[in-house]
C-alpha cells in the first residue's frame, strides 16, 4: 500500500489484475489498495492490460468482479507491553481503523486462522455478535470481527494454512558453511525490530499499519527471502526451502480465499504483513 492511497480520499489503486476460474466462471479478481481516508469508491480503475474500466461510477449487484482489500498487520499478541492493543487508548485507535475499513463496504471478512479452525472461530464470532465475552488480543478478532459485526455478517472466513518453518535448519547449516548469511540475518532482524519498536513508541495504529503496508517495508521482507536463496546454492540448496515454504503457504491461502469467494464479493483480508 502506498501512502498516497491513504492521503487522497478518492484513490483506488490496483495491485494486480488477473482473470481466474471461479466456480466455472471467468471473473476479474482485483486487489484494491485504499483504506484509510477512503472517500468516493466510484473512482475509475483501469485494467492494466487493455485499459477497460473495471470499476464504474456505481457497483452493480451483478458485477462479477471480486474485489479484495488486504490489510497487513503486526500480530497484536506480540505487541510491546508499552503499546498494548487492549489498553483504552489503543482500543480507540482500533475502532478508528475499523471505521475507515468500513468505507470499503466488505461483504466478507477473511482472517489469518486455519481453515480447520472454522468451527471454533465461528463460535467465537457468534459469541461476540451476541455481546458475550470480550475480544481476544488478536488482529483477526480486534479488527476482523469488529468489521464483520458492523457489516452484519453472519460469519467470518478463516483461510490460513500453516506448515513447519524451515529457517532454523538453514541457519544451522549456514553457521558452519556460510556465516556471512547468519550475520546478515542478525542485522536484518535487528533493523526490523528497531523500526517496529520505533513505530510502536511514536506512531498511532493508523500510521503503524500504513508503514507495514508500504513498499519500502515490504521490500525489506522480500530482501531476506531473496538473500536466503543463496544459502547452499550449488550444493544442497537448503536456502530455497524457506522462500518455497512461504510461496506454498501463500498459494494455499489464495486457494482458500477463492473457495470462499463468489462473483461480486468485496473481501477484507486481515493478515500478518508480508503475505
Q: Are 43 and 50 in contact (CB under 8 A)?
A: no
Q: How far apart are CA 270 and CA 275, in angstroms?
A: 11
Beta partners for residue 69, in sequence order? 268
> 132: left (phi > 0), else alpha (psi -120 to 50), else beta?
beta
The pTM assigned to this predicted structure is 0.78
Q: Which residues contact 51 (CB under 8 A, 6 or more apart)?
A: none
pLDDT tens across the length of the chain (275 residues) = 333 333 322 222 223 333 333 343 434 455 544 444 433 322 223 333 433 333 333 344 566 789 999 999 999 999 888 889 999 999 999 999 999 999 999 999 999 999 999 999 999 999 999 999 789 999 999 999 999 999 999 999 999 998 888 999 999 999 999 999 999 999 999 999 999 999 999 999 999 999 999 999 999 999 999 999 999 999 999 999 999 999 999 999 999 999 999 999 999 999 999 87
Can you give the pLDDT at residue 47? 36
What is the pLDDT at residue 77? 93
Instruction: Report CA torsion sign: 89, 90, 93, 94.
Output: negative
Chain centre distance of CA 66:
16
Q: In the numeric block, which cell numbers belong to residue 137?
A: 488480543
Distance from first CA to last CA of the chain, Å, rounded? 13
Closest CA to 35 of 7, 63, 76, 54: 7
Amino acid at each position: 500500500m502506498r501512502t498516497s492511497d491513504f492521503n487522497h480520499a478518492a484513490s483506488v489503486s490496483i495491485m494486480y489484475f488477473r482473470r481466474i476460474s471461479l466456480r466455472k466462471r471467468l471473473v476479474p479478481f482485483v486487489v484494491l489498495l485504499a483504506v484509510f481516508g477512503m472517500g468516493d469508491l466510484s473512482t475509475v480503475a483501469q485494467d492494466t492490460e487493455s485499459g477497460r474500466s473495471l470499476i464504474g461510477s456505481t457497483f452493480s449487484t451483478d458485477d462479477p468482479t471480486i474485489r479484495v482489500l488486504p490489510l497487513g498487520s503486526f500480530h497484536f499478541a506480540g505487541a510491546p507491553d508499552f503499546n498494548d492493543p487492549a489498553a483504552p487508548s489503543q482500543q480507540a485507535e482500533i475502532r478508528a481503523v475499523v471505521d475507515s475499513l468500513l468505507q470499503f463496504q466488505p461483504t466478507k471478512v477473511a482472517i489469518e486462522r486455519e481453515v480447520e479452525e472454522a468451527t471454533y472461530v465461528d463460535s467465537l464470532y457468534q459469541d461476540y455478535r451476541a455481546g458475550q465475552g470480550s475480544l481476544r488480543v488478536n488482529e483477526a478478532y480486534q479488527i476482523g470481527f469488529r468489521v464483520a459485526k458492523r457489516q452484519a455478517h453472519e460469519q467470518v472466513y478463516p483461510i490460513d494454512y500453516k506448515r513447519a518453518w524451515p529457517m532454523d535448519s538453514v541457519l544451522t547449516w549456514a553457521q558452519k558453511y556460510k556465516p556471512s548469511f547468519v550475520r546478515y540475518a542478525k542485522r536484518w532482524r535487528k533493523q526490523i525490530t528497531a523500526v517496529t519498536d520505533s513505530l510502536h513508541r511514536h506512531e498511532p495504529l493508523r500510521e503503524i499499519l500504513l508503514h507495514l503496508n508500504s513498499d519500502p517495508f515490504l521490500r525489506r521482507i522480500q530482501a531476506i527471502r531473496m538473500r536466503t536463496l543463496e544459502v547452499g546454492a550449488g550444493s544442497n540448496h537448503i536456502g530455497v526451502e524457506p522462500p518455497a515454504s512461504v510461496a506454498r503457504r501463500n498459494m494455499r491461502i489464495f486457494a482458500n480465499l477463492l473457495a470462499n469467494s463468489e462473483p461480486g464479493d468485496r473481501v477484507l483480508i486481515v493478515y500478518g504483513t508480508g503475505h
